[in-house]
Amino acid sequence: MLSIGIIAVVALAGVVYTRIVSRMYALRDRPDEIHFIDTRDGVKIALFRYTPRGRDPHSRPVLFCHGLGANMHNFDLTEGYSLAQYMAGGGYDSWILNLRGADVKGIIEYDDWDFDFDDFVKKDVPTAVDYVLSTTKERDLCWIGHSMGGMLLYSYLLTGGDRFIKAGVTMGSPVRFMSSAKDLSRLLKLRPLLRLTSRIHANLFARFFAPLTGVLNTSFIKSQMNILNVDTRVIRIAQYNAVTPISTRLLAQFGEWIGKHGIGLSDGFGITENLGKITNPLLILSGKADRLSPVEATVYAYEKVRSPDKAYVELSAENGFSADYGHIDMVFGKDAPGEVYPLIREWLDSRISAAAENTASA
């Protein structure tokens, strides 16, 4: 009887704790519109739209794509920490792609977790791009991808999507893992365990331990960000809202890339080895303190792509930024809204202005 009482007390305490944490950090979605679309294999994904506003809305669509184990809150978190809202305020028709599995408060319930990077590249991304272009009546769009979202841009450009991308921005997006293998090699060790389940409930762990971030900074947390460059409450909110379950098949694929030092599709097509075929305008950003996508990994991508119009920026104190940026800092760093967001918008603005001038003179 005593053991049953202890279990009941612990369970009650867990429920109370969960509700308190939810009230402290849970967000309400703030998009102007939510669009649900079906991929060619019948999987429902979501697009979150932020309509253009500001003094000079040119309505150019920009598609945001989140990273591994993240969702739309990667680009729309709280007031001031929303790259999507910022771009919409600058006149862009902003759309955030929620890839399959990237649930947001149960708006889509996923039962099938048997998917990997290939499904994103061949199904989710083309479906989303086609839908945005069809809805906006535009011929092409801009792309902003963080981490895996940038890896997907490289992959999409190399698999026939290059004609639909006006310009792209990648933020901490690795194309090889040689230098970052120290932090990511844990995936290789977990391979036997990954076969036991179809997904890792990273969201549950992230939510439960969110109040401890900033107090108990594990090596995993430190690998994700420069702790000194983020506001503790903002990161706790991100940890509670932006983390989603992860397909173990997808994780295993990342593990294979670590062993091969490059990324590619399951059919043998190598993304890393074909980067030289990319010619679209690209802005490639990296953080000096990024341990998941180190400087040398992003510099490698910059050097390999053959885009006539390309730029590389290292977010570091040495280059005039407020701090050496880590992986997550690029979107949620203390000063990211004031120095990273404008950098992205100004670069895209100049590409659109140049295209408009060329069209007018033609």
**Residue numbers of the domain that contains 97:** 31-361
Say if 90 falls within a structural domain.
yes
What are the structure tokens assigned to 136, written together? 């906006």
Q: The domain that contains 300 carries what CATH number? A: 3.40.50.1820
Say if 14 falls within a structural domain.
no
Write down the pLDDT at residue 361. Answer: 46
Say if 245 falls within a structural domain.
yes
Write down the pLDDT at residue 6. Answer: 66
Say if 291 falls within a structural domain.
yes
Say if 26 falls within a structural domain.
no
Per-residue confidence in pLDDT tens, the chain, 362 aa = 556 666 655 556 556 667 787 788 888 768 999 999 999 999 999 999 999 987 666 678 999 999 999 999 999 999 899 999 999 999 999 999 999 998 777 688 888 999 999 999 999 999 999 999 999 999 999 999 999 999 999 999 999 999 999 999 999 999 988 644 555 555 555 666 667 788 988 888 888 888 888 777 777 788 889 999 999 999 999 999 999 999 999 998 998 888 778 999 999 999 999 999 999 999 999 999 999 899 998 999 999 999 999 999 999 999 999 999 999 999 999 999 999 999 999 999 998 876 655 544 44
Nearest to 264 by CA among 162, 116, 101, 130: 116
Nearest to 98 by CA among 88, 90, 108: 108
Q: Tell me if 183 sits within 8 A of 293, measured CB to CB.
A: no
Number of compact structural domains in the chain: 1
Say if 215 falls within a structural domain.
yes
As a whole number of angstroms, the distance between CA 342 and CA 350 comes to 12
Quote the pTM value.
0.92
Say if 9 falls within a structural domain.
no
Say if 170 falls within a structural domain.
yes
Residue type present at position 100: R
